[in-house]
Structure 1
Amino acid sequence: MPQTPPIRDEYEVPLTPLPGLVLERHFTLPQRIWQQGWVRKGAILLLLALVWEAVARWQNNDLLLPTFLQTAQAFAEGIRSGELFGKTWLSLQVLLKAYVLGIVAAFVLTTLAVSTQFGRDLLGSLTSMFNPLPAIALLPIALLWFGLGEGSLIFVLVHSVLWALAVNTYAGFLGVSDTLRMAGRNYGLRGLGFVLQVLVPAALPSILAGLRIGWAFAWRTLIAAELVFGATSGKGGLGWYIFQNRNELYTDKVFAGLAMVILIGLLVENLVFNTLERATVKKWGMQR
């Protein structure tokens, strides 16, 4: 005879709350303020400024290392006169043009790579050849081809953006799961529509990392290129501002130009890329 296991009657055990148990954690006002990211980062910057001021006063040589206060005064004077802002805007105009062209070129290459075998071979060969090549090394050739103008800078900046973004984007495309790929194909997506509606959203963390790296490469390449040959189309950018003041021994203005380079990097990182991350991958739960 088959035996059936005994059936146990269901029952509930009422739980009584523990007396005096507080589950909420109360932060003091200083702790709540310290929880803000901008406060912690501001404290780090303040600490660096104090160290800079102390080292410069100990060095006691304005020609080698001006104090933080002297640099801040030169920075404020450059902004007030419009010279520093004008030089920065000239550099950013060139950078934005090259950055957009680099993004478009990287998107075309990676779209071709995920669509055809020839595209994969092409992207793999080009990245192996040109990704290790420093962009500034192409500057002499760019000067021969495009002359002392904006075209030379755009050429080397596109090189800075293109390969870093293409490698990260393609790596992100390869990491998209087969489930998402099959779901997209079941909806009839092919070619460019498949890339835009399936691969790009799924690979967005890698794409954003590539955009960050490409921006950093392009920004420092631009400053280095302007330091090499200075003016573009008769106008000097931020790198030329640094080089010119170095020749005239205005070290405080040199540091003010470097401070502007750092400030632009901080603004782009926090106002552009971090905002884009919060609105996309972090909001979608793809990134912590």
Structure 2
Amino acid sequence: MASTETGTAEKDPRGTVPRQATDGSGTDGALRDLSGLEAGLDALDTVVIKRTSFGQVLVKKVLPPLSAVVLVLVVWQLAVWGKVASPTKLPSPHAVWSELVARWSAGDLFSIIWTSVERGLLGFLAALAIGTPLGLVVARVPFVRSAIGPILSGLQSLPSVAWVPAAVIWLGIEDSAMYAVILLGAVPSIANGLVAGIDQVPPLYLRAGRTIGATGLRGAWYILLPAALPGYVAGLKQGWAFSWRSLMAAELIASSPDLGVGLGRYLENMREGSDMAGVFLGILLILLVGIAIDLIIFSPLERWVLRTRGLSAGR
């Protein structure tokens, strides 16, 4: 007769192989095994952030772009020595450097750069204030998305320079026309970036937010925006790029003494004077300012967002 006592061996009905009866200690052992398995999986997912030495930073972050700059300068100088084009069309690096020194000595280099940077940042902040709520509404209201979603995508692909003549006619050759062009170029990018980020938020987050009462503005602030940050930050980077490009287009076309001289206006002045060294300097300054803003503001922000989500262990 098979024993009915807990924890004793029973015979399998199909044979003679003993089978251990299930008891409380067996359940505890299974739970311990499961906990150990989960701990092992958590350890695999853990991102270990090691402190990067100065030498590694120098090799991985500084030397590659520096090498690229040196290579460009070498090719540029070789093209000048090879007389690929006349000096009036292709100035030497030394001529561009001399123009930079002349502008610095004249004391107007900083004011030229700051005039454009100030406009660009103020316009971008205004675009941020408009594009963020617009993106939230488009992402969460189906009717609004169907109505203006395609329009936002179309505006994002429209060259910003196309808005300059209309802005000048509407607002005159004033700073307001510059800011209007910036807004029309940057707002669609910021809004579309936020929409893309919200579309990637798992529905579980939204249900959890509703469970704890985070709905409406509270849900947008505490649930949607934090969860959509990767896509949102990508939209911000693109929005800044559109802001800067839009501003340069406006400064190139709209000319007035009341507007001052920004980088775009300086570039156009050099073109009118057939000063190719000045033209090259203007192009390089526009490029360097765009790179500097990205390195100082947006790249650290993007790295922080990705690192807090365990998505960029090696950056």
TM class by shorter chain equals 0.7 to 0.9
Indicate the residue corresponding to 1:163 in structure 2: 188
Given the two structures, how large is their TM-score scaled by the length of structure 1? Answer: 0.84
- 1:66 aligned counterpart, secondary structure: coil
Say whether residues 1:36 and 2:60 are aligned partners. Answer: yes
2:24 alignment partner in structure 1? none
2:72 is matched with which residue? 48
Matched, 1:75 2:72: no
Segments of 4+ in structure 1 off by > 3 A? 31-35
The alignment partner of 2:258 has SS state of coil
CA distance in 1: counterparts of 2:306 and 2:105, whole angstroms: 39
1:230–1:237 CA contact under 8 A, matched in 2: no
Aligned residue number for residue 237 of structure 2: 212
Please state whether the residue corresponding to 2:310 is helix, strand or coil: coil
User: Which has the higher Rg, Structure 1 or Structure 2?
Assistant: 2
Q: Distance in 2 between matches of 1:69 and 1:187?
A: 65
In 2, the alpha carbon distance for the partners of 1:63 and 1:91 equals 27
Deviation string, structure 1 residues 104-126 (Cα, Å, up to 9, x no partner): 11111122224433332344143
For the structure 1 residues 225 and 232, does the alpha-carbon distance in structure 2 shift closer, same or farther, using more than 3 Å as the test?
A: farther
- Write the distance in 1 (CA, Å) between the matches of 2:60 and 2:257: 42
Aligned to 1:275: 300
Segments of 5+ residues of structure 1 without an aligned counterpart are: 7-28
Q: How many residues align?
A: 265
Give the Cα separation in 2 of the matches to 1:138 and 1:165.
18
Q: CA deviation at 1:73?
A: 2.2
How far apart are the structure 2 equivalents of 1:102 and 1:161? 6
Structure 2: distance between partners of 1:231 and 1:212: 30
Which moved further from structure 2: 181-190 or 154-163? 181-190
Quote the residue 1:136 is aligned against. Answer: 161
Distance in 2 between the 1:138 and 1:89 partners?
24
Q: Which residue matches 1:245? A: 270
Equivalence map 1:118-137=2 (5 Å): 118-137=143-162
1:4 corresponding residue in structure 2: 18
On the 8 A contact 2:127/2:187 being kept in 1, the answer is: yes
Report the AA paired with residue 81 of structure 2: R
- Partner of 2:307, secondary structure, is coil
Distance 2:76 2:256 in 1: 31
1:111 and 1:192 in contact (8 A); partners too = no
Residues in 2 aligned to 1:177 and 1:146: alpha-carbon distance in whole angstroms = 44
Q: 1:80 to 1:209 in 2, by over 3 A?
A: farther
Matching residue of 1:64:
89
2:223 to 198, 202, 223: 198
User: Offset at 1:57?
Assistant: 2.2
Q: How far, CA to CA, are the matches of 1:191 and 1:52 in structure 2?
A: 57
Alignment-mate amino acid for residue 51 of structure 1: V
Provide the secondary structure at the position in 2 that maps to 1:280.
helix
Residues in 1 aligned to 2:152 and 2:91: alpha-carbon distance in whole angstroms: 43
Say if 1:115 and 1:191, in contact at 8 Å, map to a contact too.
Answer: no
